[in-house]
């Protein structure tokens, strides 16, 4: 196999592991979102207010940012706590970028909203990152 083909294969492996990790983290975060009534707000990103639509949108976003996490975290190493710490930092970064900037901007709301929902969002993004990190670690260990 050529060096380029090997690198492409390696990147694809990290990407699909990241997508799976993002979906698993997204499911756990989605439970928090369902319990706190956040899913209809997520659905507003696609012109709906239905919680089921919000859950689908949330999982699609989770898979997409999971791909990026898989590609970035692939170089972290094989220590569980390192990958989980990277996941936590990644989740917190997405709380700022996604929860406090992009989502409010797309919905015509004030940026950097602070309140009870923002704190639940912070908790959910941190949980997403930890679970995605643990899942990514597990997938990497099982196929190494």
pLDDT given for residue 108 in this prediction? 94
Q: What is the pTM of this model?
A: 0.90
pLDDT of residue 75: 67
**Is the torsion defined by CA of 25, 30, 32, 33 positive or negative?**
positive
CA distances from 133 to 12, 28, 139 (A): 18, 13, 10
pLDDT of residue 116: 92
Per-residue confidence (pLDDT) for residue 16, from 0 to 100? 94
Kindly list the domain boundaries of the chain, sorted by start residue.
2-141
Tell me, what's the pLDDT at 1?
A: 57
Distance CA 65, CA 59 (A): 10
Query: For position 51, what pLDDT does the model report?
Result: 97
User: Per-block average pLDDT, block size 10, for the chain (144 residues)?
Assistant: 71 92 98 97 97 98 97 79 94 97 94 93 97 93 61
User: d(Cα 124, Cα 128) in Å, to the nearest integer?
Assistant: 6
């Amino acid at each position: 196999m050529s060096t380029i083909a090997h690198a492409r294969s390696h990147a694809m492996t990290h990407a699909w592991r990241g997508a799976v990790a993002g979906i698993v983290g997204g499911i756990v975060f989605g439970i928090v979102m369902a319990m706190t009534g956040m899913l209809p707000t997520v659905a507003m990103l696609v012109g709906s207010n239905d919680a089921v639509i919000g859950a689908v949108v949330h999982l699609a976003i989770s898979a997409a940012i999971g791909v990026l996490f898989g590609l970035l975290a692939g170089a972290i190493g094989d220590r569980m706590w390192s990958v989980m710490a990277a996941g936590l930092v990644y989740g917190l970064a997405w709380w700022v970028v996604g929860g406090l900037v992009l989502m409010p901007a797309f919905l015509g709301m004030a940026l950097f909203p602070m309140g009870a929902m923002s704190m639940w969002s912070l908790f959910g993004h941190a949980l997403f990152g930890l679970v995605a990190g643990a899942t990514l670690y597990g997938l990497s260990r099982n196929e190494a």
